Amino acid sequence: MSYGRLTGTKLSGVALRRLLSHYGTLQRVRAQSNSSLRENGLQTDQIATIKNRDIRFNPAKKRLNPLNWAENPQNRIIVFESIEYPPQLRQIPVPPPILFARGRVCDLASPSIAIVGSRRCSNYGSRNARWMGFELARTGLSICSGLASGIDAQAHRGALQASGHTVAIVATGLDQAYPLENKRLAEEIVEYGSLVSEFPLGTAPRKENFPRRNRIISGLSMGVLVVEASLRSGSLITARQALEQNREVFVIPGSIAGEQSKGCHHLIKQGAKLVESPEEILEDFPQLTALSASKLENTPPQPNRKPPVIAKLNQMQRKILKAIGNDQVLVDHLLSETSLSMTKLASELMTLEIEGIITARGGRYFKQQD
């Protein structure tokens, strides 16, 4: 695998890994004499490239030199031999030899649960992904997913809303924004979690890279929760890889008439555990259950790090929030107070819930605390 054409020659992933394994850091690599680097098998033009601190190479494609990229305190190149390499990822059949990471790299070794599912998810799937991400993150678990639209994004947002840690494994170089609609979410994950890829800087989204990405999602986690998936969903690949890696597989069931539930029901028939609550996931990990259950019981929901901007709400949404007040209210109360139709009320409640402004539990709605 090439890590970019550098001044006429290639610095391969193998060479980069060997240098980092031997010297430990990029700063120490650059501090070595030319003769020392030659003894490690580098050619004169490769050495010149390593010592060159120009920000960009290959100007036509505007790709960053990975050595300069890693000098940013938020960025890391983690080789398999590094103490920063996640220990759980070492256990999988084909662990990536190099990881590019941004954000809180120290938390990559934390116990985590993967939450995956359809990009074109239903409102039902969206709510459950965010709810599970929120509740599991509140117990101290890290939430791992793939930054895709739909279920992945909602799982990440749920973890962030709980002031928890989340890891996004992507199938592109970390200098790429994909999907573009989740660029802002990716930036927030870097601030409060970690963004990780095995692919070199400059790698564009390619279909064949996503299954490879999925093995890292499951490999970093103790178990994989599939929220919503069709029979052809990539989430089923992640679930299969989880089983091959001796990880647990959990599934939230859906409607028997829903196309996006067929993959989930297939997994249940194959022996995956049907779950309806975070506690049913935690009970499969005795070493975490006591602490996690205590946190679920005693820790109130945390506010968003970035509270919703109330000014952006429409008139009907403001009316709904006024009707909720500081209480926990039923739908009948909201219908009476707002005079909205059931269809319109349900639609606006869904929007408010997805945005993290309100929460529904036990059939009652209440506002998140600012």
Q: What is the pLDDT of residue 16?
A: 66
| pLDDT value, residue 2 | 35
**What pLDDT, on the 0 to 100 scale, is given for residue 306?**
44
Q: Which residue has the higher pLDDT, 98 or 32?
A: 98
CA distance 249 to 228: 13
CB under 8 Å to 57, separation ≥6 — which residues? 4, 5, 6, 7, 49, 63, 65
Confidence class for position 301, pLDDT limits 50, 70, 90: very low
127-167 per-position pLDDT tens digit: 899 999 999 998 889 999 999 999 999 999 999 988 899 99
Q: Rounded to an integer, what distance in angstroms lies between the CA atom of residue 197 and that of residue 171?
A: 6
Assigned CATH for 310-367 = 1.10.10.10
Give me the pLDDT at residue 362, please: 60
Which of 7-11, 83-87, 360-364 shows the lowest per-residue confidence on average (mean pLDDT)? 7-11
Query: What average pLDDT does the chain have?
Result: 82
- Mean pLDDT of all residues in 113-134: 92
- In the chain, the amino acid numbered 276 is E
Contact assessment for residue 158 and residue 130, using Cβ atoms and an 8 Å cutoff? yes
Q: Does domain 105-298 have CATH number 3.50.50.60?
A: no
Cβ neighbours of residue 338 under 8 Å, at least 6 residues apart? Answer: 316, 319, 320, 323, 345
Per-residue pLDDT at 294: 52
Residue with the bigger pLDDT between 360 and 207: it is 207
Judged by DSSP in three states, 287 sits in helix
pLDDT at 300: 43
> Tell me, what's the pLDDT at 308?
40
What pLDDT is attached to residue 166?
Answer: 96
pLDDT at position 292 over 60: no
Most confident of 12-26, 37-51, 164-178, 341-355: 164-178
Q: How far apart are CA 170 and CA 159, in angstroms?
A: 17
Entry pTM: 0.68
Domain boundaries, the chain: 1-65, 105-298, 310-367
Per-residue pLDDT, 54: 45
Mean pLDDT value of segment 263-276: 96
Phi–psi pair at 230, nearest 5 degrees:
-80, 175
Residue 58 has pLDDT above 60, yes or no: no
pLDDT tens per residue, range 320-368? 988 988 778 888 888 888 988 888 888 888 778 777 788 776 667 877 6
Range ranked top by mean pLDDT from 45-54, 81-90, 210-219, 303-312: 210-219
Q: What does 92-105 look like in DSSP terms, one character per residue? A: SSS--SEEEEEE-G
